[in-house]
């Protein structure tokens, strides 16, 4: 592969140049030149430096928005000022279809206690109880969950005591989350808090027996833009029985009976690995990392799943589904490759997609020159083997680690150690995730918790053909004449999972990077050189000549 200009080391220097010494020392550890053979240590999951415009969200977002939000029939009350409820209302494009197990759907509602100053002073528990009773009166839900916002922790309202009291009084499941926004350093804390409470209050609560062969749970798939629907369809056609998804298109009953599955699939390692671990310890369910983003990755994941169960008929059916789907998608791949091959991409998203979506770009022949997560931990970058070496700081210590014991009745080992060893030999690794860095090119720049300044600088330096991020970055990036693909909500697109989703993605990216509109944009600083953005981009040794300035011959 051709060398990039500037090199990763030079780019890193440029990014760091502007910072005061102390800031530079910290950012130096978070901007890393990759070596896939021996991933270097990267600084991650530490506090964002005050004053820097980060992409990150809060613990409430990670709990209420991410892990809890996609469940349709858990009535979710935000205990806090109305803004927290209002701004978390339908902002994530998770979809759901009610069924006989979970016919209720509260997703389109926003429930809030609308905390006022008087509650901040005198306490909000009374209002919370009233809100729960009122919600119960109107909706008669089977489950109510309470999500805490910052003031709840600051004034000391005990949402768990209120939940216990209401559970008793109403005779339904009620539980709370201490997911105050300020917990931890990002939404990652909220994931952990959500995992803990789901594990304690939901998993194992159902009496029903799940019928079916090859029972699996899908962990860390949230049905953004309909992704879960595509994956569910693939499972069905291959012959797997999906017990529960955490938590895309999920209902309470599914999740409450999830301990009956014989395999946990982990899609988003960052947000749900705690659940996989706890279920393995308590019930003996092994987990495997999968990725249903990308055609090759989807085929690989399905094969691993079929091999895990080792049933000849299941393996044959899975192979037939893969063959059928690949036959449909290969022509689309070839078509977009003609126009996209060699184009440059950068991805700065969340805690797993910056890794997963690289597979789609690889399918298309595009080159990922830089990527990073907002809030992932070192294991998501370097692989799980580094977990014992991760320093636990005060921010992480604040998040509860729950002690999990083997369940004396329900624990059932699904595979013996010998069987696991045989599977490992056949390439079916259990309980492991190798992280993003081993899959990235040598010398690609890996940037943790990238900020707005660094994003703009990276665009100036490399002029990528597409920059993948979220709504906070989108219009800043596009004003620079570079298309921005939102990988959180897919803009208005998707599904992007599975084979069908991959085809959607290829087409959307093809359209985005090959439209002529970007050449017609004059960035504001080239129209009136107001000095805010530094020298014109054209003066910076363009990697793609004339990419960012109007060229009469192009029109």
- Give the interface with ligand CFM as residue ranges (CB under 6 A): 62, 66, 92, 187, 220, 222, 224, 268, 270-271, 349-353, 488
What radius of gyration, in Å, describes the C-alpha atoms of the chain?
24
Q: Cα 268 vs. chain centroid, distance in angstroms?
A: 6
Please, which residue, 85 or 350, has the CB nearer to ligand CFM? Answer: 350
Task: Give the HSE-up count for residue 310: Cα atoms under 13 Å, Cβ half-sphere.
Answer: 10
Phi, psi of 448 (to 5 degrees): -90, 140
CA distance 251 to 103: 9
Count of other CB atoms within 10 angstroms of residue 22: 9
488 belongs to the catalytic site? no
Q: Which candidate, 523, 545, 543, places its Cα nearest to that of 534?
A: 523
For residues 165 and 125, the answer to whether their CB atoms sit within 8 Å is no
Residue tagged active-site, from 11, 61, 261, 276: 61
Per the annotation, the verdict on 147 as an active-site residue is no
Residues 6+ apart with CB under 8 A from 420: 286, 430
- Structure tokens, 220: 């860390």
CB 45 within 8 A of CB 186: yes
**At its nearest, how many Å lie between ligand CFM and the CB of residue 476?**
18
CB of 488 to ligand CFM, least distance (A): 4
Q: CA torsion sign, 227 to 183 to 84 to 147? A: positive
Q: Which residue is nearest to ligand CFM (CB)?
A: 350
Q: Which is nearer to ligand CFM, 215 or 356 (CB)?
A: 356
Min CB(200)–ligand CFM separation in Å:
20
Helices 21-30 and 8-17: crossing angle in degrees, nearest 10, is 150
The residue (of 66 and 344) whose beta carbon lies closer to ligand CFM is: 66
Q: How far is the CB of 94 from ligand CFM (least distance, A)?
A: 8
Q: Which is nearer to ligand CFM, 12 or 488 (CB)?
A: 488
E strand or H helix at 198 = helix 187-201
Q: Are strands 445-447 and 367-372 parallel, antiparallel or unpaired?
A: parallel
Q: Are 113 and 127 in contact (CB under 8 A)?
A: yes
First CA to last CA across the chain, in angstroms? 32
**Nearest to ligand CFM of 215, 269 (CB atom):** 269
**Tokens matching residue 533:** 């953005």
Q: Is 191 a catalytic residue?
A: yes
What is the smallest separation between the CB atom of 1 and ligand CFM, expressed in angstroms? 26
Smaller CB separation from ligand CFM, 204 or 351: 351
Asked whether 139 and 75 are in contact (CB, 8 A), the reply is: yes
Of 127 and 353, nearer to ligand CFM (C-beta) is: 353
Question: Which residues, 6 or more positions from 170, have their beta carbon under 8 angstroms from its beta carbon?
Answer: 132, 133, 136, 144
Which residue in the list 58, 135, 150, 189 is annotated as catalytic? 58
> How many whole angstroms separate alpha carbon 148 and alpha carbon 181?
8
For the bound state, the minimum distance from the C-beta of residue 253 to ligand CFM, rounded and expressed in Å, comes to 22
Q: How far is the CB of 369 from ligand CFM (least distance, A)?
A: 19
Catalytic residue chosen out of the listed positions 27, 72, 79, 191: 191
Question: In the complex with ligand CFM, which residue's Cβ is closer, 187 or 298?
Answer: 187
Q: State the DSSP code for 552.
A: G
Q: How far is the CB of 220 from ligand CFM (least distance, A)?
A: 6
Instruction: Reply yes or no on whether 543 is catalytic.
Output: no
Active-site amino acid positions: 58, 61, 92, 191
């Amino acid at each position: 592969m051709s060398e990039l200009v500037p090199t990763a080391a030079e780019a890193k220097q440029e990014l760091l140049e502007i910072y005061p010494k102390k800031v530079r020392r910290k950012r130096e550890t978070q901007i890393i030149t990759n070596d896939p053979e021996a991933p270097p240590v990267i600084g991650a999951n530490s506090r964002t430096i005050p004053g820097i415009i980060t992409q990150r969200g809060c613990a409430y977002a990670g709990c209420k928005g991410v892990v809890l939000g996609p469940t349709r029939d858990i009535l979710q009350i935000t205990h806090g000022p109305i803004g927290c409820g209002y701004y978390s209302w339908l902002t994530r494009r998770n979809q759901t279809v009610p069924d006989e197990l979970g016919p209720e759907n509260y997703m389109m509602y926003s429930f809030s206690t609308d905390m006022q100053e008087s509650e901040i002073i005198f306490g909000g528990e009374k209002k919370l109880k009233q809100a729960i009773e009122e919600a119960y009166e109107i909706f008669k839900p089977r489950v109510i969950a309470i999500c805490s916002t910052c003031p709840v922790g600051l004034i000391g309202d005990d949402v768990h005591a209120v939940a216990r009291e209401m559970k008793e009084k109403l005779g339904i499941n009620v539980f709370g989350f201490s997911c105050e926004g300020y917990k931890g350093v990002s939404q990652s804390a909220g994931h952990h808090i959500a995992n803990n409470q789901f594990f304690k209050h939901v998993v194992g609560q159902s009496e029903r027996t799940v019928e079916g062969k090859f029972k699996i749970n899908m962990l860390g798939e949230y049905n953004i833009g309909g992704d879960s629907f595509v994956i569910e369809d693939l499972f069905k056609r291959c012959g797997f029985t999906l017990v529960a998804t955490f938590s895309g298109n999920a209902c309470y009953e599914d999740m409450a009976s999830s301990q009956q599955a014989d395999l946990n699939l982990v899609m988003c390692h960052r947000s749900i690995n705690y659940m996989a671990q706890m279920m393995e310890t308590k019930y003996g369910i092994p987990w495997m990392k999968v990725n249903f983003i990308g055609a090759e990755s989807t085929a690989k994941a399905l094969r691993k799943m079929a091999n895990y169960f080792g049933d000849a008929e299941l393996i044959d059916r899975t192979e037939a589904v893969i063959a059928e789907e690949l036959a449909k998608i290969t022509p689309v791949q070839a078509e977009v490759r003609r126009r996209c091959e060699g184009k440059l991409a950068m991805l700065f998203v969340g805690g797993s997609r910056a890794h997963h979506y690289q597979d789609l770009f690889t399918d298309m022949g595009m080159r990922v020159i830089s990527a990073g997560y907002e809030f992932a931990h070192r294991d998501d970058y370097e692989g799980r083997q580094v977990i014992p070496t991760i320093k636990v700081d005060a921010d992480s210590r604040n998040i509860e680690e729950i002690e999990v014991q083997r369940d004396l009745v329900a624990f059932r080992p699904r595979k013996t150690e010998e069987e696991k060893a045989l599977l490992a030999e056949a390439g079916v690794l259990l309980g492991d995730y190798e992280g993003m860095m081993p899959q990235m090119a040598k010398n690609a720049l890996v940037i943790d918790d990238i900020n707005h300044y660094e994003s703009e600088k990276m665009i100036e330096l490399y002029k990528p053909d597409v920059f993948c991020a979220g709504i906070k970055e989108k219009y800043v990036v596009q004003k620079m004449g570079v298309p921005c693909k939102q990988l959180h909500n897919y803009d208005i697109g998707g599904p992007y999972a599975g084979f069908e989703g991959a085809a959607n993605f290829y087409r959307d990216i093809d359209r985005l990077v090959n439209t002529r509109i970007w050449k017609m944009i004059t960035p504001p600083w080239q129209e009136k050189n107001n000095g805010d953005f530094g020298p014109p981009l054209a003066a910076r040794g363009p990697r793609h000549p004339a990419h960012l300035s109007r060229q009469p011959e192009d029109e």
